[in-house]
A and B are shown apart, each in its own frame.
Chain A
Amino acid sequence: MITTTNRLTRATWAISRLHARRTLTARVDMISNVLFGLLIAYALAFLWQALYSSNVVNSEVTVEQMITYAVLGSVATTVLQTNTVFWADWRIRSGDVIFDVLRPINWQLTLFGDYFGTVLAQFVAVGIPIVLLSALFLDFLAPASVLAGLLFIPSLFLGVVISFSIVFLILLLAFRFTQVGGIESAMRGFRPILTGALVPLWFFPDWLETSFCALPFPDIAFTPLAIYVGEIEGSDIWFAVLRQLGWVVALSALGAWLAHRGMRKLSVQGG
């Protein structure tokens, strides 16, 4: 049992490294992502400044917190976007997916390795430069508390896993409908809004905030970001991370079950 887990972890990590390296070789992609991510980070930071200075603000969140949130939100949107669905969708359509499925490692785990490796590379090569270059001229705050600082990273990681689980579910639609590129394109548009990366959920009217929170999306970016800036505090942090864990388990299990059914269909059709 331990050796199997060990083997799978190492295999997944090897796949992640491969995709991380692949991502890093795309220089134009990396540099443009830093530049466009910075543009959005600065633009939103200035927007918050403008909004806070020219209007009566009925919010307990400070402008510095909002600037920090804007920078991290831009990082989240930039870093979480990968081509995993497009590649895998093509492999399903062309029938090449059979090679992925025949490997002695779970297909879901293979794709997670792909997604995680890409996101990790983008986090290091794009996310961190955006944060550093933003902190240069903007009021970028440190984590709100020691606990927030400690739990921000695990919460972010769980956000990535939830994000992947949703990507995986979209991909599984491909077994039924053959092509899902269009749905993923639309998801790319939804992501900044639904995850709360562009506009934090506390600005939404209560009914909208409640309905968004019933979905897994805010736990991708909003939750870790709100923990960082201190809008989720104290024991609520633990509760939020536990809820993220809950989504991870539920969505992964759903994905695994549907994948299993999808594979059966694949073997019946003969690819």
Chain B
Amino acid sequence: MSIVGTRVVRVEDGTLITKGGTYVEDLRHEALTGAVHATFVRSPVAHARITSIDTSEALQAPGVVAVYTAADIDLAPGQAGPVAQPWLADGVVRYVGEPVALVLTEQRYQLADAAELVDVDYDPLEAVASIDAALADETLLFPDLGSNVAQVTGGEFDEHAFDDCEVVVTETIVNQRVAPAPLEVRGAALAWGEDDRLTVWLSTQNPQLARTIIALGLGVGEERIRIVTPDVGGGFGAKIGSDPEPVVLGWAARRAGRPVRWTETRSENLTAMTHGRAQQNTVTIGGRRDGTVLAFRLEVVQDAGAYPRTLFLPTLTELMASGVYHFPRVETSSKGVVTNTTPISAYRGAGRPEATAAIERAMDLFAAEIGRDPAEVRRTNFIRPEEFPYQTPTGASYDTGEYAAALDRVLEAGGYHQLRAEQARRREAGEPVALGLGLAAYVEITGGDGGGESGRVDVNPDGSLTAYTGASPHGQGLGTSLMMLLSDQFGIPLERITVRHGDTDEVPTGVGTFGSRSLQLGGSAVRRAAETVIERARALAAEMLEASPDDVVLDTDRGAWHVRGAPSSATVGWADVAARAGDGELSEDVWYDEGTPTFPFGAHLAVVEVDTLTGKVVLRRIVALDDAGPVVNPLAFEGQRHGGLGQGAAQALLEVMSYDSDGNPTTATLADYSFISATELPDFELLHMATPTTRNALGVKGIGEAATIGSTPAVHNAVVDALAHLGVRHLDMPATPLRVWQAINDARKAD
């Protein structure tokens, strides 16, 4: 019986629940003996010229080994999109949290004492603290660039695009800046070896990519860098590759001649780890009063933060602009602007949640304008199953989808019509606690980066199995999933299979984990390697069984080869085959690059109650269908969806990284940043559907980000829906009590 598709408790958990994981901070490696501790002195102002840095007092502090500034660093600066990004601020600081100096001390407790004594004089410049301020181009972050607009795409709009529409609605929707906030902050430990190679233990999602970035930064060949990924306490996109800090630390380890350990504080993390989202999107949607949408326009402005290193985000939003709908005309444009704020990068969904939020708010605005039910309007415009593969006007090629079926399942399971009746009853009775129903139908793109993945499978002499993957799981449970796939193919039990990843000396090539790519690409790579190994084993088994290779079969229940039709006669097991095999014969290392992007989809229904007297929103239910094709381990699959739902609801209701007009962050600790907790979330109601794809060896799609993408607009729409009878048409996320109360008041005044 196949183990794939059954609920398997994770192999990863045994240690995590007894001894705890081994995260960077937990390493007690011999090579780190005598390591110095490191901390960065960071800018407390958003935009200023540095007039002087005096390190003399800090150098006198107990235990200080070194204090470095930009003047010490003899590396070529890094590059962030079109601009240079110095490793330590060089003359100008551009956001609160930008590294200005590096302090090394003998003991951890000496760090903060010494860092306080580094005396930096700042001559403040006007801060560009919002998208509007950036677009005004009055103060420039990078005068050489000539503008704060660092990237422009599209925008050649047809002025007649909406001419044949009976109704046109437009709205500017803020997709607010949020903090990825993995529970483990950033950290690294670094040691140069006697062989002049640098080993970096790094909390990353992509060791091989980190190796490239750090080698480039240090100006050395990649062969001189080894990345080892210990357990990683969450990444959510913000630990892709390497940030600039590890480059500085690698340089400092060499300069100081000592291994270096670094763990940031949470307050540093909230201002100096990249943030996500931060778009301002103007939607224009037009169509007929029967609910047919004829044209949709999306104008994206991406706040890229101070150093625009991730300008793929707005174009990914453009790619996914039209969502699950067959619209005759779709037009998009984007601008990426720099501001005096923390740089923006990937956060769970990275570009796609913004697209879905824009189109799903637009669909509700359109439905409200023509007075039709939002479910009905969605159904009218869905891409139909027979239209796949579907080429979107923005250039995506959707593989498979059952969009209407997904929505119908959710409506039925949620009791949509009864909920609408209850909503009407409350409105009729004038009850102060309003009911809101929010829908989102979504499609997203996984494995969209176009890269491949590595996979290697070895049959060991004892008949056990070791697999190596270029994916770099950090909580997803991919190791267990790969073991399940291998167990199924080889007939070898899970406890005799090991999956290894994260050490670039052991897995030299790989792309890593982001964009929900790891199962569809990493899993396919391991699948291909396994197939080759099994075919070689077949030849060996045939020799041993004195039969033709075509006549031997692998009994995957027993993990043994036998002659076809004679299962009870002589068999050879994996250890037997391994004994017969030549060196490396039962090892295969593949680069899987046949996979192309897949398009998971789904529908979510959120139910909220809004206290219209206080503005407080309580999320009562989320009913979610997330279809990512066949499921390897339902346990991990559901876990990914749960986490996604939580983070999506968090953005809709609570979380925002805020800055004042001077560019000072006002949510820089976990006491101030409204990280969602168990008390703000309901139990999740999950529905299942599995529509396979043909675009990779496993027929699977990615699930890491899907539920975040669906739940954010579902919850957001629910809040607006709850207030519709009070005249509220739109309010931006997060739907905090104050914002909801103000929206109600504004609608009342307008009435």
Q: Do A and B bind each other?
A: no
Enumerate chain B interface residues (CB-CB to A < 8 A).
Answer: none
Enumerate chain A interface residues (CB-CB to B < 8 A).
Answer: none
